[in-house]
């Protein structure tokens, strides 16, 4: 009987049903034999037919149980497979194209944990950002317009960003306009590349290691998953709240597992265009890597054929640990803000759409 059990355990479900059918036919045959007057053989002491009948009956019931168990197992496996296929993955997707055996998943999990820790620590800091966006003439390289904004930033315990504008001269840019998406990128992807809370929404492709200055780094190409989801992109385009993602490359320190450099742009673009930037970080207080400088020099090519050369310089300075709760303000009106004459008002970024500033670096002016 043990041989039969091992054989059945390794037999496909279709074969089990076939054996079941064969045993049923044999049972029907023996039943006809026993009813056909051959019982006399039992009277003479020959009980082979009865023994065969009993053995086949036992095998029949055993096969019936095996077949039912096999069908239930396959049904459960299919249901689990369908459930898994219907449930989207909430983990970041990783790919290793370096040709070197590296535990990419472990590196990304560590980076995610470090970035989360860094963003929590950032909630206890304030810093100044000096951003200058310029348009450049195609011939001669003269500056044709400028958008200059100096602000001080703090974060609340939930990581929400607050901006207090220190200086905001009237913009002189005429070729393009500045939108909420541009302002969001200035304080978001251009400064930090990846939001710690959104790391699961990216595909990370490992490209190998690279030495930068005195650091050995892991290099990853980063693509947001939403770019391959037409339905999600359509919903995002209709949304009134700009949701920004980073697409590009990051360099991760192989000891601290924190991002030390990023190169890419804010996406999606839709009808707007955004420059490719490079952001560098420096270690502050000997522990965390804070963004200190971002730079872009790029041509924005719009759908209508217009091309605008832009140059962006952003400096992040004066990082200071907060001693208590701060009061912050965001103002959208251009001009110099005199802190002595104005009572601060608290308002999170991005600024309201009622600002008198033009609307998009991504959008050409008509």
Same domain, 251 and 154: yes
Structural domain harbouring 7: 2-86
pLDDT on residue 52 = 58
Q: What is the largest CA-CA distance in the chain?
A: 123
Shared-domain flag, residues 117 and 48: no
End-to-end Cα separation, the chain, in angstroms: 86
- The closest alpha carbon to 195, from 145, 228, 158, belongs to 158
pLDDT for residue 286: 84
Q: How far apart are alpha carbons 177 and 309 in whole angstroms?
A: 13
Between CA 144 and CA 122 the distance in angstroms is: 36
Task: Tell me: do 210 and 62 sit in the same domain.
Answer: no
How many domains is the chain partitioned into structurally? Answer: 2
**Residue at which a domain ends, from 86, 101, 132:** 86
- Please give the model's pTM, rounded to 2 decimal places: 0.64
Sequence-distant (≥ 6) Cβ neighbours of residue 295 within 8 angstroms: 277, 278, 312, 313, 314
52 and 151 housed in the same domain: no
Q: What confidence score (pLDDT) does residue 121 get?
A: 87
Question: Do 214 and 290 lie in a common domain?
Answer: yes
Q: What are phi and psi of 208, to 5 degrees?
A: 125, -165
Instruction: State the pLDDT at residue 347.
Output: 35
Residue 187 confidence (pLDDT): 80
Residues of the chain with pLDDT under 50: 1-14, 17, 30, 33-34, 37-46, 74-88, 326-362
258 and 174 housed in the same domain? yes
**Is the same domain home to 127 and 270?**
yes
102, 231: one domain: yes
pLDDT of residue 291: 93
pLDDT at residue 166, rounded to an integer: 97
CA-based R_g, the chain, Å: 35
- Same domain, yes or no, for 64 and 171? no
Is residue 80 domain-shared with residue 190, that is, in the same domain?
Answer: no
Residues 76 and 159 in one domain: no
The partner residues of 293 in beta bridges, in order of sequence, read 280, 315
**Domain shared by 151 and 284, yes or no:** yes
What confidence score (pLDDT) does residue 43 get? 37
| pLDDT for position 206 | 95
Among 35, 68, 86, the domain boundary falls at 86
Q: Which two tokens stand for residue 79?
A: 């249901």
**What is the CATH number for 313?**
2.50.20
Domain termination site, one of 86, 107, 142: 86
């Amino acid at each position: 009987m043990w041989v039969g059990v091992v054989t059945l355990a390794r037999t496909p479900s279709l074969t089990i049903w076939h054996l079941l059918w064969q045993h049923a036919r044999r049972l029907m045959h023996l039943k006809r034999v026993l009813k056909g007057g051959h019982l006399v053989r039992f009277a003479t002491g020959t009980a082979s037919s009865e023994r065969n009948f009993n053995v086949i009956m036992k095998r029949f019931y055993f096969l019936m149980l095996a077949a039912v168990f096999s069908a239930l197992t396959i049904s459960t496996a299919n249901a689990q497979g369908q459930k898994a296929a219907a449930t989207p993955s909430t983990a970041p997707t990783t790919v290793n194209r370096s040709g070197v055996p590296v535990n990419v998943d472990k590196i990304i999990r560590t980076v995610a944990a470090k970035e989360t820790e860094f963003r929590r620590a950032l909630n206890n800091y304030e810093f100044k950002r000096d951003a200058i966006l310029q348009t450049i003439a195609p011939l001669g390289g003269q500056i044709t317009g400028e958008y200059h904004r100096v602000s001080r930033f703090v974060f609340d315990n939930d990581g929400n960003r607050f901006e207090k504008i220190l200086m905001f001269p009237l913009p002189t840019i005429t070729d393009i306009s500045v939108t909420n998406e541009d302002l969001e990128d200035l304080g978001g992807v251009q400064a930090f590349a990846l939001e710690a809370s959104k790391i699961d929404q990216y595909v990370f492709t490992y490209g190998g290691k690279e030495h930068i200055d005195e650091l050995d780094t892991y290099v990853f190409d980063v693509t947001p998953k939403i770019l391959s989801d037409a339905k999600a992109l359509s919903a995002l385009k209709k949304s009134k709240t700009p949701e920004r993602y980073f697409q590009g490359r990051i360099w991760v320190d192989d000891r601290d597992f924190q991002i030390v450099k990023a190169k890419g742009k804010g996406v999606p673009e839709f009808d707007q265009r955004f420059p490719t930037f490079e952001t560098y970080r420096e270690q502050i207080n000997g522990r965390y890597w804070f963004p200190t400088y971002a730079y872009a020099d790029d041509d924005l090519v719009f759908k209508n054929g217009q091309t605008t050369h832009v140059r962006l310089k952003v400096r992040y300075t004066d990082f200071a640990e907060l001693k208590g709760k701060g009061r912050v303000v965001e103002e959208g009106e251009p001009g110099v803000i005199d802190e002595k004459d104005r009572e601060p008002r608290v308002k999170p970024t991005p600024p309201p759409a009622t600002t008198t500033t033009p609307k998009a670096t991504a959008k050409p002016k008509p």
